[in-house]
Chain A
């Protein structure tokens, strides 16, 4: 018995060490850096300053934050509008088709995000597949030049994040007791009524965790806007990268990251409060 207890402590050692060294420490370090002064060349001097945070609230950067939140919200709304019905209908398929659908979903999901973006470039680029199609059908006369525009970025985001929503909703739908709906219908509820009072409520955890899984990553996905938006659409993620790699202003990049992380944590807290558990449905 004593041996067993000892084992339990030993087994904790790896995760404790790893988490302290490579999660907690780096994050704490980032917070510290965000209060330091940028050195003349590379790196930072250990003098305390609030300049970096003042700079974050400069209208220019504030506006970029706002734009990023807007794009994240727009993506989340679109992903919900497509992903929720998809997950719901998928849950109503026969077992055999559920498995097939799952497989069909998993293949793109597991394929490198970059590779899938590559396909969208083929579609969107000037004189690309979409332009050809539109011109062939007579809807447009000249190439639209859709690549490097806002809609292209939005499509890329939705495409990238959709599977997370679908899987979350689907796993909720799977757990649902369908006889409840039958009962409600028998008792005279209309289709819409039974959907709103039963289905929507029971699948709410899936929907909410889908929203979290869409919104949170979309705040930081810089390479979609980088590749499909060119340098025209500037999001907070791209600003951090630029500050880090080109301008070498690590303290300011750290301050931006701290704010972005605070936003993320507020959002996750909110989710925890609304859902009551904090467990993300669908993934586990």
Chain B
């Protein structure tokens, strides 16, 4: 029988507490009346009021969401179609292409940021949503592709054959057999992509246009000039959204 020693439990607990400490402090200090983070002057909702009246932040949030959705859509099409295409017999360039396709999650973000900036200006693409969606998709496609491919590898091919034998068309087979099977993979790939796009700073800074500011970029520039309680409030809001998303994904996974 597996047993967990007391020391192990204490270790797990301690690391988890440390893991949460910065987050908890952020939440606590978002309710701080004082403008200084080092002094506690009592409870207040002022920073939240300020946040909800800050038009720039609302716009940045909207931009982040639009960008994440666009990225998810593009990555979904590319990743899933590739996973479906490459499950059977391999073509000569398949390994080469899928190898390169996975590269963006391996190489440092800063390199991606700079190569995208260089190539987009060379291609004369308008900097903004177009360039950012492409750049973000470069690191989301591999996740969706690899997750869905892993899921397909575990799939029994005879399921589809049976459907075909029973008279289902190819499309029907896909819709009724294959798709439901890979759906959990697609869902977790999409959630991951959404979160990563939403979170990304480095690549965004290099591919953003003059008019598109995302929330992550905004937080980053604000943090560089020193933190304000407003960022704490914003962080808390984002935290709540994240927690909700995780709960939803857990729920869907169970079903």
Contacts and interface: CB of A to CB of B under 8 A. Distances in A.
Interface in B200-255: 201-202, 206, 216, 219-220, 223-224, 227, 231-232, 235, 238-239, 242-243, 245-246, 250
Interface residues of A, number: 83
Interface in B76-135: 77-79, 81-82, 84-86, 88, 91, 93-94, 97-98, 100-101, 103-104, 106-111, 114-119, 122, 134-135
Contact of B224 (A104, A220, A226, A253): A226
B118 A26 contact: yes
B145 interface: yes
A23 B238 contact: no
Contacts of B150: 284
B26 interface: yes
Contacts of A82: 15
Contacts of B109: 217, 220-221
B26 A115 contact: yes
A131 B158 CA distance: 64
B104 A12 contact: no
Given A219-B108, A220-B111, A18 B137 contact: yes
B118 A24 contact: no
B11 interface: yes
Given A113-B199, A132-B38, A226-B224, 19 more contacts: A3-B170, A18-B78, A19-B101, A22-B134, A23-B101, A23-B104, A24-B100, A26-B119, A92-B3, A93-B4, A107-B242, A108-B23, A111-B238, A122-B22, A254-B118, A261-B108, A264-B106, A283-B146, A284-B146
A223 B202 contact: yes
Q: Which 3 A-B pairs have the closest CB atoms?
A: A220-B108, A119-B22, A11-B85
A121 interface: yes
Most buried by B among A4, A119, A216: A119
A107 B243 contact: yes
A5 B103 CA distance: 28
A13 B91 CA distance: 13
B147 interface: yes
Nearest to A104: B16
Interface in B10-27: 11-12, 15-16, 19-26
Interface centre among A8, A111, A220, A226 (most CB of B within 10 A): A111
- Counting contact residues on chain B (CB < 8 A from A), the size range is 35 or more
A246 to B, nearest CB: 13
A129 interface: yes
B118 A125 contact: no
A115 B238 contact: yes
Given A33-B118, A101-B12, A115-B26, A8 B103 contact: no
A95 to B, nearest CB: 11
Given A108-B19, A122-B227, A128 B37 contact: yes
Contacts of A208: none
A111 to B, nearest CB: 5
Interface of A: 3-4, 7-9, 11-16, 18-20, 22-27, 29-30, 33, 82, 85-86, 89-90, 92-93, 101, 103-108, 110-123, 125-129, 132, 159, 162, 178, 216-217, 219-223, 226-227, 237, 240-241, 244, 250, 253-254, 257, 260-261, 264, 268, 283-284
A256 to B, nearest CB: 9
B8 interface: yes
B195 interface: yes
Given A19-B97, A237-B108, A114 B223 contact: yes
B114 A257 contact: yes
Contacts of A260: 108, 110-111
A222 B110 CA distance: 8
A257 B22 contact: no
B97 A16 contact: yes
Contact of A11 (B82, B115, B220): B82
A244 B117 contact: yes
Given A23-B138, A250-B118, A112 B216 contact: yes
A92 B223 contact: no
A225 to B, nearest CB: 12
